[in-house]
Amino acid sequence: MTITTAPPQLTRRHPAPRPSSYPSTLAAPRDPAASGTQPAQPSRARPHRGADREPARRVLSLGGGTQSSCLLLMSCLGELEPLDAVVFADTAGEAPATYTYLDVLRGQAERAGIRFLTVSAGDLRGDLMARTGRGGQATPPVRVRHADGRLGRINRYHCSYTYKRLPIARAVKALCGPPGAWKHTAIEQWIGYSAEEVTRVKPADECRCGHKRLRRATGRLPFEQIHTPQGCARCTCGGFDPWQVNRWPLIELGMTRADCQQWIRAHGFPVPPRSACYFCANRPAAYWPRLKRDQPALFERAVELDEALRHGINGLRGQAYLHQAGIPLASLPDTGTARDTDGGPGDPDADPDRDPGGDAAMDCEAGMCFT
């Protein structure tokens, strides 16, 4: 995609502050005597030292796609509260058009006085290739062909957690100051979910003490409740008190993805391409022939990864495929057809909303990756 639209020079405007979603009171140690059933006992619980105030920082998790880009630009224009920082987690696998658009966003953020951070946990494709047959990979959402011919899918994949969520969380904590300072501050984390994704909204799950609300089930072990009304099972804190509060401004405004595209165009900006790794196994089937035709070098790199993962991903029983139909990418014919999209004619990232062979939820902000 070639970006030719020259975005206007922006002047930062500060709207009236929105009442913070951060808790106005902090959790206090539970007193067994409050029920009147037993005398008060000395409590080991210690209260958190958070601040009863507006969030110290507002930070946006930037995916590079339509929704989070719209949030950043709305803040730049003053239609939303001023952000302190945006954090983009780079897997080294985004489509070239996304990196081009990120340069546009970086320029607008700098003009508005918003800190633009790019963090990385490494080269996702390179790391997957390097550990082929050795295990320890951040499992991608591949399709799996079993010995009896059945086609399954890896649902609990870890690539987005390892290469997106963790780097962003670490960067946000670092923004708070010296090590441990995040335990005593208030962060409002913006996430670019739009109105049609309201069912995906989840509160932050890490307490100031550093422990999660729940420990995720593993194997045959069920979920473990770390924080209860009586406090934390791992330490002496006074109960669950998140150091950050998630916020979804687009849902508050009732804006859909289409609304975001309309807003971006109306304010003189080009609409961004969809954000996702070019080799992502969540790509719709119609994407691969277009990639092969329009960007053959990237397609060949995807084919190399596809072949490497076939028998070499964390001891997986069965054959792994990047294609949703469970077929080798190398076997695909050149059947892609050019389409006029926001990214330009023949763009392999043709908007799935206009593409009958696509998937309207295929990008890192709409459920495939958490940003």
What is the per-residue DSSP string for 188-210? EEE----GGGGGG-----BBTTS
Task: Give the pLDDT confidence score for residue 212 in this predicted structure.
Answer: 81
Neighbours of 344 (CB within 10 A): 19
- Crossing angle of helices 257-266 and 66-77, rounded to 10°: 40
Find the helix or strand (DSSP H, E) in which 305 lies: helix 296-309
* 341: its two tokens: 């999209």
Look at the pTM and tell me if it is higher than 0.95: no
Q: Which fold has domain 54-204+243-354?
A: Rossmann fold (3.40.50)
* pLDDT the model gives residue 358: 38
CA distance readout (Å), 173 to 223, 291, 362: 26, 37, 29
Please report which helix (H) or strand (E) contains residue 294, including its range: helix 287-294
Give the domain ranges of the chain: 54-204+243-354
Between CA 319 and CA 331 the distance in angstroms is 15
User: What burial class does residue 288 get, using C-beta atoms within 10 Å of its C-beta: 0-12 exposed, 13-18 middle, 19+ buried?
Assistant: buried
The residues near 187 (Cβ < 8 Å, ≥ 6 apart) are: 55, 56, 57, 58, 59, 172, 175, 176, 243, 244, 245
pLDDT mean by block of 10 residues, the chain; 371 residues: 44 37 31 39 39 72 95 97 96 94 97 97 90 69 88 82 92 92 91 93 84 65 68 77 91 96 97 93 93 95 92 75 94 61 39 39 46 49
> Residue 221: its pLDDT value, please?
54
Q: What angle do CA 46, 52, 54 make, to 5 degrees?
A: 145
Q: What was the pLDDT predicted at 338?
A: 39
Burial of 96 (0-12, 13-18, 19+ CB in 10 A): middle
Closest alpha carbon to 281 in 318, 244, 324: 324
**pLDDT for res 41:** 38
Structure tokens belonging to residue 340: 């006029």
β-pairing verdict for 85-89 and 115-119 = parallel
Q: Which helix (H) or strand (E) holds 231?
A: strand 231-232
Task: List Cβ neighbours of 333 (8 Å cut-off, separation of 6 or more).
Answer: 289
d(CA 79, CA 352): 28
Q: What is the CA 156 to chain-centroid distance, rounded?
A: 15
Q: Looking at residue 118, what is its pLDDT?
A: 97
